[in-house]
Each structure stands twice: as structure tokens, then as C-alpha cells.
Structure 1
Amino acid sequence: MQYLITGATGHLGRAVAHQLAQLVAPKDIAVGVHTPAKAADLVAAGMVNYPLEYQDPQTLTTAFNAADVVIYIPSKSHTSLSRVEEFERVVTAAEQANLKQLIVMGFIADQATNPFTLSAFYGYVPRRLAQTQIPFTLIRNALYADPLVPYLPELIDRQNVIYPMGDASLSFISLEDSAAAFAKVAVTPSLWTQATYTLTQTRSYTMPALAQVLSQVSGHAIGYAPVTLSEFAEMYNQGNEGAMLASMYAGGAQGLLATVTDDYRQIMGHPARSLPDFLTAALAK
């Protein structure tokens, strides 16, 4: 079978490409990218490159028609409307192609009551797919654990985790584990019979529990002293992302980012790496 990964030069897309290359021949993997030069290493590894513009339906049609399985990873647009418009073009291309399976990246912050600014998009995706005849699998991610690694020095300096989460918990998955599960689902038709998977570690963490893990792996005492949502938005507004990030933690404070499932084990045959194990290994590199 031929596999196409959209957004293949992003963090998840590139990780999926590498994981997929461990399961099938690189020549059977195509990468759809906005900037072909960024995919030079993937092409050098034997993968096929399709210049792909989400704004250009013809590029989607061309790439999808050459694939049996498409792994769709959304762009990093900061509004639900722009992502929904993008997804509609993806759905149109998928309906016109003779795909065996469309695998779509989702996120656990997709509840109807979630104030996260992108929850409308993530909630739209499964409902829109349900209206189509496209064979699909939706794979929802928990929060990525990976950003905690570069963030740790700041938390050590602050001596506190500052997420505005109150008593609620956060659920995590590592980028590598997520990518491995995407690749495994892509090459395993028997896993396509389940429409939705949610990738998480085996437990979620309250902020004091998260602070304890970070203290353990760093060797520094880290507590929990939350800032307000408005303070958090102002502190982390690089790239105008502050309001979006704050809205995500507003949903988290309502308990909407605490989902834990056994789906990763169902896919991979073993549990996802625990947060302490992931952080210890990442910090040792």
C-alpha cells in the first residue's frame, strides 16, 4: 500500500514518517509538504515528496489519488474557522480519491463545553467525518509531554508550576509514542474497525503531582503556585498564542484535559511511557 502523510515536516508529521519507515519500505511513503526543501532528508531516505498546499485543492487531489492511506495532520492555524475550511478541502479530496483509510489527528480538548479556542475545530472533525462515506480513523492526542523538557529550566527558576489549573488534572502522551501509534494504525487494517482512539499515558496528573514529578527528574524543588489565566496569556504571548494557550488551560481547569484511556496499549501491545520515564530519558540526552 501507498501511504501519504500531510504536514510531514512538522513535529508530529516528521515523527510519524520515521516511525512508518520502520514498518514499510520508504518508497511506499509519500510526504505532503508546503516547503519541499524542508523534506529533503525524508526524500533522501527514499520517500516521495508531493508539494501540498491546503489552500490549493488540486494539490490535495493529486496527492490523495496516489495514496491508499492518508494520515492527515492539520496545519498550525490559530483559528477554528481556518482549520475547518482546510478540513473541508481535505474531506473533498478524500471523497474523490479511492482511499482505503483516512487517519485524522484529533485532540482531547474537543468537548462542546470546552472554552479552548480550537475546540470547535476538534469537535467538528468527528461530526463531519460521520456525514461522509470515507473510511476513517480519528486518533485523539492528549497533551504532548515533550514541551515540558525545554520548559523545565524556567520552572526551576520559578520554583513552581504555574499553570492556571486549580485542582484539575492533565493527561499526557509523548510525541514519539503518538507517532508510533499513528504508524501502527496506518499499517494494520484490523485496527481500522475502531473509529476513534485516544492516546494517553496510564494516568493524569494534578499540578502538585506534576510538580512532584518535575522535582524528581530535575533534582530541584518545584511546587505549585498558579497564575491567573490573564497573567498566563500575557506571559506566553509569543507569536500571539497567549490567549489560545490560556483558553486551553481554562478548559483544563474544568477537568476537560484529564482523559485517560487504554487505547495506546490496545494499539501497541504495551502501555505508553510514563511521564517520569519519558522526562528522565529526555533529560539524559
Structure 2
Amino acid sequence: MKFVVTGATGHLGSQIVQQLAQRVAATDITLGVHTPAKAASFADQGMTVLPLDYGDQGSIVASLTDADVAIYVPSKSHDSFSRVTEFEHVIAAAEQAQVGHLIVMGFIADQATNPFDLSAFYGYVPRRLASSGLSYTILRNALYADPLVPYLPELIERKNVIYPMGDASLSFISLAESAAVFAEVATRPELWTQSMYTLTQERSYTMPALAQVLQNVSGQPIGYAPVTLSEFEKMYDQGNEGHMLASMYAGGAQGLLATVTDDFKTIMGRPAQTLPDFLAQELAK
């Protein structure tokens, strides 16, 4: 079988490739990447690396041609219009290339009432796929737990978690465990009978509970003192991401980022790693 992974040099994509290589031969894997030089280590393992520009329909078709399974990881753009346009190019290319099965990254902030800047894109994904002629699976991720690790020193300095979340909860999954599910679903066609899975740990966390976890793993006092959404936007506007991040927590404050499911266990045969165990493991490295 031929497996194609787009966005293969990104944070999630690179881990999907590593997980996939544990399940199939490297020669069965093709990577569509914006900068092929960044995938040199994968090419050295025997994988095929092709240039892919989401704005160039021909390059997408070339990457997806003869794919039995294609895994689409969206580019890191900050608005729904750009991502929907990109996704339309991928859908058209997948149909033209006659991809056997398409696996698409989703996110739990896809509700119609969610103010998150990218919720329109994530809500569009299942509707657009349903109207296509493709065989597909959507894997909806909870929030990635990984950014909490480099963020921890700032929280220790502040002595508080500051997310503007009120009494609402957040649900998490790690990049590594998400990637493992992508590879597992890609290589097990019996899982394709369900069109959507949601990848979360077994519980969500209110902000005081999250602060307690961070305090326990760091050994430093950390409480909860939220800032306002506008303050949060100004504080984290590096790369013009402030509004997007604040809008995500605006949705979170409405309880729209608290989803918890058993889908990870259904696919992997075990529960997802807990947040305390994940953080302790990462901090011990």
C-alpha cells in the first residue's frame, strides 16, 4: 500500500511519519512537504519526498497520485478562509488522484456557536467531506498538552495559570498520542467504518485543577488568576496570533473545549496517558 502524509515536517506531521514507519515499510511512505530539504532524514530512510504547495493544485495531485491512504495535516494559517481554500484544493486533488482513503486532522473547537477564529474551518471539514465522493476519517484533536511544558516557567514566575476560562474545563491530548492514532487508523481499514473520532485524555481540567497539576509536577506554587480576553490577546500577540488564541479561550469559557471521549482507548486498546504523567515524563527529559 502507498501511504501519503502532507505537512510531514510539522509538529504533528513529523510524529505521524515516525509512527507510520513503525507499522509499514519506509518505501511505502510518500511525504508531501513545502520544503523537501527539511525532510532529508526521512528520505534517507527510503521514503519518497515530493514538493507540495497547497496553492498549487498540480503539486497536490502529484503527491496524492496512487495513494491508498492519504493523511492531510493543514498548514498553520490563522484564518478560516485560507484554510478552507487550502482544503478545497486538497479535496479536488484527492478526487482527481482517486485517493483510496483520506484521513483529516480536526479539532474539538468546531461547533457552530464557537467564537474561535478557526471554528468555521473545522466545522466546514466534516460537511465538505460528507458532500464529496471520498472515503474519509476525521480525527478531532483536543488541545495539545505539549505547549504546557515550555509555558511552565512563565506560569511559575507568574505563580498562576491565567487562561480566561472562568469555571470551564479544557481537554488535552499529546502530539505523540495523536500521531499514534493517525498511524493506527491509516493502517487498520476496519476503523474506517466510523467517519469521525475525537482524541482526548480520560478527563478534562478546570483551571484550578490544571493549576494543581502544574504545581504538583513543578514543585512550585501555582494558582489560578485569569486575565481578561483582551489582556490575554495583547500579552500573546507575537506573530499576530493574539486574537486567534484569545478567541479559542473565549470558546473554552463557554465549555466548548471540554469534550472527553473513549475514542483513543477504542483505537489503541488503552487509555491515553494522563496529563500529570505526560508532564512528569516531559519534564524529566
Q: Map 1:66-145; keep pairs closer than 5 Å.
A: 66-145=66-145
Alignment map for 1:233-244 (pairs within 5 Å): 233-244=233-244
Q: Quick one: which amino acid aligns to residue 129 of structure 2?
A: L
| Deviation readout 1:208-255 (Å, 9 max, x if unpaired) | 000000000000110000000000000000100000000000000000
Which whole-Å CA distance do the structure 1 matches of 2:152 and 2:245 have between them? 18
Provide TM-score, normalisation by structure 2.
0.99
Alignment check: 8 A CA contact 2:66 2:98 kept: no
SS in 1 for 2:58: helix
Give the aligned partner of residue 60 of structure 1.
60
Q: Which residue of 2 aligns with 1:280?
A: 280
- Report whether the alignment pairs 1:185 with 2:181: no
1:172-198, Cα deviation, whole Å (9 max, x unpaired): 000000000000000000000000000
Aligned partners of 1:46 and 1:207: how far apart in 2?
Answer: 45
1:159 aligns with 2:169: no
Which consecutive residues of structure 1, in runs of 5 or more, have no partner in the other structure? none
Secondary structure at the aligned position of 1:170 is classed as: strand
Q: What is the CA distance between 1:98 and its match in structure 2? A: 2.2
Q: CA deviation at 1:63?
A: 1.1
**1:18 aligned partner:** 18
Structure-2 residue corresponding to 1:256: 256
In structure 2, the partner of 1:203 is 203
Mapped to 2, the partners of 1:196 and 1:258 lie a distance apart of: 17
CA RMSD of aligned residues (A): 0.5
Alpha-carbon separation, structure 2, partners of 1:153 and 1:66? 47
Whole-angstrom distance in 2 between the partners of 1:221 and 1:27: 50
Aligned length: 285
Which stretches in structure 2 are left out of the alignment for 5+ residues? none
The residue aligned with 1:146 is 146
Q: Offset at 1:10?
A: 0.3
Distance in 1, matches of 2:76 and 2:166, equals 28
Give the TM-score normalised by structure 1: 0.99
**Identity, % of aligned pairs?**
71
